[in-house]
Structure 1
Amino acid sequence: MNTLVTSLYIVAFALFIYGLMGLTGPKTAVRGNWIAAVGMGIALIATLLLPGMSTWVLILIGIVIGTLLGVPSARQVKMTAMPQMVALFNGVGGGAVALIAWVEFRDAPGYVGHPTYFVVASLFSAVVGSISFWGSLIAYGKLQEILPGRPIGLGRAQIGLNALLLVAAIVLAVVIGTGGTSELLIVGVLLIAAVLGVMVVLPIGGADMPVVISLLNAFTGLAAAATGLALSNTAMIVAGMIVGASGSILTDQMAKAMNRSIPSIVAGGFGGSGTAVGGADGVDRTVKSTSAADAAIQMAYAEQVVVVPGYGMAVAQAQHAVKDMAKLLEAKGVTVKYAIHPVAGRMPGHMNVLLAEADVPYESLKEMDDINGEFARTDVALVIGANDVTNPAARNDSSSPIYGMPILNVDEAHNVIVLKRSMNSGFAGIDNPLFYSDRTSMLFGDAKKSVSEVTEELKAL
């Protein structure tokens, strides 16, 4: 039986890795997900075949509850809410490993008689898993706008408080590791880590939430790997390390894309929903409005149009309307490309997935480094609900919170048309000077409706 379980685990690991490889592009992403899901199913079956699995009723009840909650949620979630779901599901994983650490403590009791590696791994899982669970819930609340997107904290005292909480959790863990058997100790570890998870994420502004979700995802993976080490479960070790490693790499890449260090993000203080309508220097300015007819004329007689999608396109579910508009422009001989910023939307690849859903050719999607050199020879840049990733203050204003962040050089285009519902600022809560440029025209309204109106005007030309 052990040989069979080991063989099944090896097959599962191969499917995990092969499925992950499929996530490198929209064309293979769905297949990659299915392959990895099959691998997880095999790993689950192999685990159930391990000797000592006797509580089949409880196991089946857990599987049924998880299926009834997970499948409908995943099928019904809108793409705009996908970041929230990722945060929530990730948090559940962290909470699960924290509970496993608690159960193992009760089973011993107090880890008595277990080797050192088991104790260290279990306590690591308890602390990190609890941080990940409660931190992910706060991230979910901010993204879902249940909680304010702005930073909420104690200012300079926040870092000191977080350090104190971490030290307290470690001290209790050391007491347990040196022979403490009172259940209040492990409960204390879990509660202090929970408070730490909340206090770490609350002061982080909405603009940094995508990085936070990725970081918490890495935490959950590492906690799961530690639990696998404690339980001698190879599947948990490998799967956890894959999640931890990929999450760590993604976190680093996203932080670089925002020109932010991970410690500065964890320290908090940047980014929250705002409603600024004046200039960045506090001076009120006027913007130039346009109509769907004028926008259609500008694009119809252009040689190249670059579409810059953002979260506003996702909220309006305008990707199909954008594809229809681009098809008409291409029929008129206009070259249409899409500029994708690494952190556009609320999670990596958000815009890629939306546009792929509308059958936009993958070759037309250009990453920031590939498209930035083309804006200077672009006749019209059409910005659809993208705020912070097009803000020239990141290049020109050293006092701006996003100064140094790589952006799409939209302001270099000959003409810029910005589709927005209002003059509210983006998720970072700061104003965008691009909107007041002489080259920029604002087309106000719901993005899907506005694009559809432009499409109708194009048909009439």
Structure 2
Amino acid sequence: MHAFIEIGYLIATLSFLVGLKFMSSPKKAMTGNLIAAMGMVLAVVLTFIAALTDTVPFTNLIIMFLAIAVGTVMGKRLSDKVEMTGMPQLVSLFNATGGGCAMLLGLVEANQMDITTAVLGNKILLIAGLITGAVALTGSIIAERKLAGKVKDRRTKTVIFSARILLVLMVLLPVLYFFGFIPIGFSAFMYVLATLAMVYGVLFVLPIGGADMPVVISLLNSITGIATAFAGFVYGNKVMIAGGIFVGAAGILLTLLMCKAMNRSLLKVLAGTFKKSKNGAVEEEQEIKEISISETALSLSFAQKVAIVPGYGLAVAQAQHLCAQLQQLLEKRNCEVDYIIHPVAGRMPGHMNVLLAEANVDYSRLKEMDEGNENMAQYDTVLVIGANDVVNPAAENNPDSPVYGMPIIRTHESKQVIVMKRSMGKGYAGVQNDLFGLDNCSILFGDAKVSLQEIVNQLKLI
């Protein structure tokens, strides 16, 4: 039976690998997700079988089954109700549950562990899993609250300093404990560490805001994967180890890519540091040129090459389907239409890709930032829908700007830019967009969904 379970775990692990491979292609992503899900179901079934063969109390099996049932129902209901604008918050909540699970595993195992006979390596792994899980738990909850606009940034020196002190304590205290300088039981010590780690998770995320939020989501996801891997080592569960390593590695790689896309140091993100504008810096008054619906439709009707730059505002307006209709109308006029996607557009990595996929936009029409920038001068019209910080020329031209150094989509190099906005409000980074005052930029005010519908209607009549 043990050999049968080990072979099953191997098959489940391979399904994760195949699923990840398939997810690298938009056409095969759904198949990859199903394969990975089937592997996870297999792993859960094998875990129940292993529990039965190890004579685990029947009450524990019932609790496990009920926990899975409740989690399945709640997850299904949440995923069915969530809108695209709330997807980042849902991801953060799901990530929090993973971190919380890793933390609870550490506490439960600490209560049962015989400290006198336990291997030092297992104790270290247990502590590492508990700390990373607790940080992921509270950090993800604060990230969800910030994304929902319920918690504001706390960019103060006190918060940052406190976070650094806690980080040092979480590293130092286990060393002192193992050398006998902290005379308390192992279980009590683990509760102390869990408390410190949860507080650190809060302080870690509080100072981070604006353009750094996609990095935080990706990093917390990686931390949860690492916590799962640590727990897998403690229990000797190969599927937990493999799954945790896959998630942790993928999250770290994605985090580094996000940092590169935003010109942010990972160490600065971890420390909660941020760049401020220089003292005395004053934003220049901009001369805004407003454009009407009819003028926008006319401009698009004469264009031979159009680029659409989507942002979070597109998700808020739920206008992705109208955006796809606009693309189809323009293509019928022999106009080439591309979507240029910034790596951190939206509130999480891949947010815009998923949004456009929901509207059945062909993946071949999506261009990465670098490719779009190379051909930017060829576009007759660039339509910016809900994006702000990722098209701000201040990132390249203004050393005093907090977004300076962040790679952007250079829409200002095109022949004409039309920005769809509700108002002149600033983007998530809270800085003025220098694009709006340029000669080739016009602003189309209004709800993106309403405006796109009117543009589509007028294009049908032209």
TM-score bracket, shorter-length normalisation: over 0.9
Partner of 2:49: 49
Shift, 1:49, TM fit: 1.5
Distance 1:96 1:178, change over 3 A: farther
Shift, 1:53, TM fit: 3.2
Amino acid at match of 1:61: L
Shift, 1:377, TM fit: 1.4
Amino acid at match of 2:150: I
* TM-superposition CA deviations, 1:305-328 (whole Å, max 9, x none): 101101110111111101111111
Amino acid at match of 1:206: G
- The alignment status of 1:358 with 2:359, answered yes or no, reads yes
Shift, 1:177, TM fit: 4.1
Partner of 2:16: 16
Residue aligned with 1:438, SS: coil
Q: 2:90 aligns with which of 85, 88, 101?
A: 85
Q: 1:59 aligns with which of 55, 64, 70?
A: 64
Residue aligned with 2:402, SS: coil
* TM-superposition CA deviations, 1:118-165 (whole Å, max 9, x none): 1010000111110111111111110011112xx30432x444322321
Shift, 1:31, TM fit: 1.5
Shift, 1:211, TM fit: 0.2
Shift, 1:283, TM fit: 2.9
Amino acid at match of 1:207: A
Distance 1:128 1:397, change over 3 A: same
Partner of 2:240: 236
Deviates more, 1:73-82 or 1:177-186: 177-186
* Matched-pair identity in %: 44
Native 8 Å contact 1:205 1:269 kept in 2:
no
Equivalent positions of 1:45-444 (< 5 A) are: 45-50=45-50, 51-54=54-57, 55-109=60-114, 111-148=115-152, 151-155=153-157, 157-174=158-175, 176-177=177-178, 180-181=184-185, 183-270=187-274, 281-444=282-445
Shift, 1:114, TM fit: 1.3
Partner of 2:450: 449
Native 8 Å contact 1:169 1:192 kept in 2:
yes
Native 8 Å contact 1:270 1:428 kept in 2:
no
Shift, 1:26, TM fit: 2.3
Amino acid at match of 1:398: P
CA distance in 2, matches of 1:154, 1:72: 38
Native 8 Å contact 2:268 2:274 kept in 1:
no
Distance 1:40 1:160, change over 3 A: same
Distance 1:27 1:372, change over 3 A: same
Amino acid at match of 1:7: I
Shift, 1:437, TM fit: 1.1
Amino acid at match of 1:440: C
CA distance in 1, matches of 2:284, 2:121: 61
The size of the alignment, in residue pairs, is: 450
Distance 1:395 1:167, change over 3 A: closer
Residue aligned with 1:337, SS: strand
Residue aligned with 2:307, SS: strand
CA distance in 2, matches of 1:331, 1:235: 51
CA distance in 2, matches of 1:75, 1:29: 19
Residue aligned with 2:268, SS: helix
Residue aligned with 1:26, SS: coil
Distance 1:27 1:281, change over 3 A: farther
List gaps (5 residues or longer) in structure 2: none
CA distance in 2, matches of 1:169, 1:265: 19
List gaps (5 residues or longer) in structure 1: 273-279
Shift, 1:46, TM fit: 1.2
Shift, 1:87, TM fit: 1.0
**CA RMSD across the alignment:** 1.7
Partner of 1:35: 35
Residue aligned with 2:444, SS: strand
Report the TM-score when normalising by structure 1.
0.94
Amino acid at match of 1:48: F
Amino acid at match of 1:230: V
Residue aligned with 2:375, SS: helix
Shift, 1:387, TM fit: 0.3
* TM-superposition CA deviations, 1:319-362 (whole Å, max 9, x none): 11011111111111211111111111111111111111111111
Distance 1:243 1:312, change over 3 A: same
Native 8 Å contact 1:172 1:188 kept in 2:
no
